[in-house]
């Protein structure tokens, strides 16, 4: 039996372009793991089962695709201990799937090469390949083309999952984006993001990254008023994050916003 920590992520930036020929959107995003995590436990079994989280579909799909690709005639027993909020823009399901893929692949007599594992991950969802990598990444194309990025890690993160926010499906968020012609000016925004990344020297320079194209929240300016040097929505939302220089100010902000929803104080990993 083996165990992996499946970390959440935040989008430090998300610039969204037009629909591609494959029906997905062109994106440029800066992805950062955070210490909030699920625990994924796995061991070989006669057939694949997933316990601990009744709503899972992506971990099972990941393992079924791995078994097919590896011509593996058995399965794996998986248990997920959930801590990452569901459907919150934090990538919890994708991270669980990536962790399960890595654990299961390691049990194979001949593990699949990284490039094949990445291909399986990309079929499952745009965030899954990111969780197979280490460190911060810039995601481009449909979100599965990744390049490592060196960005500061010396800050504290407050996450707020609003209690009054009804989570729309990611597809619905993108549909609304298309209806308002959000992709207009994508090339210019992507260029500004590239310039902002080049200008990063210290953590406070992350404040110069553009705001999330897909979603906004009134909690972001509240976090800034409480001392965050950057605050924005993660992914398609509804989670809002704030980056703080000092843990004490992060804890005060978390306490101030605790009545607004589920809150977490964490850090980049």
71 given a catalytic annotation: no
Give dist(CA 249, CA 251) in Å, integer.
5
82 given a catalytic annotation: no
The answer to whether the CB of 22 falls within 8 A of the CB of 142 is: yes
CB atoms within 10 A of CB 248: 11
CB atoms within 10 A of CB 66: 25
Catalytic residue among 38, 56, 127, 232: 127
Considering only CA atoms, which of 117, 83, 86, 106 is closest in space to residue 3?
106
The answer to whether the CB of 30 falls within 8 A of the CB of 13 is: yes
DSSP secondary structure string for all residues of 95-163:
HHHHHHHHHHHHHSSSPPPHHHHHHHHHHH-TTTGGGGS-S-EEEETTTTEEEE-------EEEEEEET
Question: How do beta strands 145-148 and 137-140 pair?
Answer: antiparallel
3-state secondary structure of 66: helix
Catalytic residue among 9, 38, 96, 213: 9
Active site residue ranges: 9, 127
């Amino acid at each position: 039996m083996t165990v992996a920590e499946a970390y959440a992520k935040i989008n430090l930036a998300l610039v969204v372009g037009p629909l591609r020929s494959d029906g997905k959107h062109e994106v440029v995003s800066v992805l950062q793991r955070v210490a909030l995590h699920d625990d994924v436990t796995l061991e070989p079994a006669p057939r694949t089962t997933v316990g601990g989280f009744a709503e899972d579909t992506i971990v099972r799909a990941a393992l079924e695709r791995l078994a097919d690709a590896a011509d593996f005639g058995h399965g794996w027993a998986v248990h997920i201990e959930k801590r990452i909020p569901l459907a919150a823009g934090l990538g919890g399901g994708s991270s669980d799937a990536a962790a399960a893929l890595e654990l299961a692949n390691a049990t194979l007599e001949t593990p699949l090469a990284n490039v094949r594992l990445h291909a399986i991950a990309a079929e499952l969802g745009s965030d899954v390949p990111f969780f197979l990598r280490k460190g911060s990444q810039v995601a481009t194309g449909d979100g599965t083309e990744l390049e490592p990025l060196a960005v500061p890690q010396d800050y504290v993160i407050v996450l707020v999952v609003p209690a009054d926010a009804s989570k729309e499906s990611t597809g619905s968020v993108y549909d609304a984006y298309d209806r308002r012609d959000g992709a207009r000016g994508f090339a210019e925004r992507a260029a500004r993001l590239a310039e902002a990344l080049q200008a990063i020297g210290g953590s406070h320079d992350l404040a110069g990254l553009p705001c999330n194209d897909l979603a906004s929240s009134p909690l972001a300016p509240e976090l800034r008023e409480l001392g965050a040097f950057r605050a924005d929505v993660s992914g398609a939302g509804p989670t809002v994050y704030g980056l703080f220089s000092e843990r004490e100010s992060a804890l005060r902000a978390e306490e101030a916003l605790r009545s607004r929803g589920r809150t977490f104080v964490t850090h980049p990993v």
